[in-house]
């Protein structure tokens, strides 16, 4: 009972902090937070593959980019395209791309999966770069209208206002994270973890491995596409180098490892740490990749379970000392 009450108190305090955050920190750090939240969701979708299913994707940006480009192109070419359907288009694009690639990806694992996703990711990057008439090439697609949040006859909220967009983006991301958390707690989520731990045993129990992998990949691609759609609305610019570059695929891997693969919220913590480091580092040097690499090495050496894992160990030791005393 006390644990449940404490949990509710934490959630209420967290929501209050999110509500007053823009008024306290101002526009700049509000935008920094939105960027962190978008990539936090994106990193969680990568963790569905890496942390839960045990396969490493080196091309996860293709789902993120598919969502971003689909939303940007829909807003560019369809006059009056609504806000929520724009997000759904992004999620659908990510899910469809995952569905198309499933017949190949579900048949492999380990290094083969990593290399195959890298190959597909780079292929899509090159295609997007070459088809300038559609994607804008290196220049990308930008300047498209950002629709307002409308409930006919009730409310119309301007999403070009950065504070309004903060509340919208954070709300959507929290809903997405809750859905993904619920997904991992279902029997199917446990089955996905079983595929990671002992795929042969899952197969012997009568569960179909290819279909299980395919569903998890599609869920991951769908929500990565939604993250890309939010990014497109936030930046009002989508380019190949911004959303399909290999660095965009490596970013969530770093976030997941730094935050902790063994935790649902680990990648979110990793996203917060890397965005904070990026903000501080850019005031001193532009070598952000070097700093990220050093942080990654330190985490691997001294906190192999990630920051969340380190905190859990510290918490366990603390409670053990209290019981002993």
Tens of pLDDT, residue by residue over 213-260, are 999 999 999 999 999 999 999 999 999 989 999 999 999 999 999 998
Residue 258 lies in a domain: yes
Tokens of 284: 């001193």
User: How many other β-carbons are positioned within 10 Å of the β-carbon of residue 240?
Assistant: 26
Residue 74 lies in a domain: yes
Flag whether 283 is in a domain. yes
Question: Element (H or E) spanning 246, and its range?
Answer: helix 246-259
Please enumerate in sequence order all residues whose Cβ is within 8 A of that of 275, keeping only pairs 6 or more positions apart, or say none.
Answer: 32, 35, 36, 39
- Domain that residue 197 falls in: 31-324
**Within a domain: 9:** no
26 domain residue, yes or no: no
pLDDT, tens digit, 9 for 90 and up, residues 47-98: 999 999 999 999 999 999 999 999 999 999 999 899 999 999 999 999 999 9
pLDDT tens, residue by residue, 145-180: 999 998 887 888 999 999 999 999 999 999 999 999
Mean residue pLDDT across the chain: 90
Q: Which residues is 142 bridged to in the sheet?
A: 237
Q: What pTM was estimated for this model as a whole?
A: 0.93
For residue 24, being part of any structural domain is answered with no
Number of domains in the chain: 1
Q: Are 69 and 141 in contact (CB under 8 A)?
A: yes
Check: CB of residue 282 under 8 Å from CB of residue 288.
yes
């Amino acid at each position: 009972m006390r644990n449940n009450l404490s949990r509710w108190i934490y959630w209420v305090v967290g929501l209050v902090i999110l509500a007053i955050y823009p008024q306290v920190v101002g526009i700049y750090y509000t935008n920094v937070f939105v960027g962190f939240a978008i990539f936090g969701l994106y990193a969680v979708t990568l963790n569905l593959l890496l942390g839960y299913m045990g396969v490493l994707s080196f091309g996860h940006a293709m789902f993120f980019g598919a969502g971003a480009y689909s939303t940007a192109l829909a807003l560019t070419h369809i006059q009056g395209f609504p806000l929520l359907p724009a997000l759904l288009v992004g999620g659908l694009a990510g899910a469809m791309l995952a569905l198309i690639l499933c017949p190949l990806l579900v048949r492999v694992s380990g290094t083969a999966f990593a290399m195959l996703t890298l190959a597909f990711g780079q292929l899509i990057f090159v295609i997007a770069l070459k088809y300038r008439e559609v994607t804008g090439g290196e220049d990308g697609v930008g300047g498209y209208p950002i629709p307002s949040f409308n409930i006919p006859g009730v409310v119309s909220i301007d999403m070009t206002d950065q504070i309004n967009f903060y509340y919208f983006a954070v709300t959507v991301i929290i809903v997405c994270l809750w859905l993904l958390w619920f997904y991992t707690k279902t029997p199917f989520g446990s089955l996905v973890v079983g595929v990671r731990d002992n795929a042969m045993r899952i197969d012997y129990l009568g569960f179909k491995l290819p279909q299980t992998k395919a569903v998890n990949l599609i869920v991951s691609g769908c929500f990565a596409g939604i993250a890309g759609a939010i990014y497109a609305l936030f930046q009002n610019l989508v380019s190949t180098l911004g959303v399909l570059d290999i660095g965009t695929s490596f970013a969530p891997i770093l976030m997941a490892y730094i935050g902790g693969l063994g935790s649902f919220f680990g990648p979110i913590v990793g996203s917060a740490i890397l965005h904070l480091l990026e903000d501080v580092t850019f005031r001193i040097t532009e070598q952000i990749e070097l700093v990220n690499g050093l942080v990654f090495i330190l985490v691997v050496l001294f906190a192999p379970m990630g920051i969340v894992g380190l905190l859990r160990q510290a918490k366990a030791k603390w409670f053990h000392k209290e019981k002993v005393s």
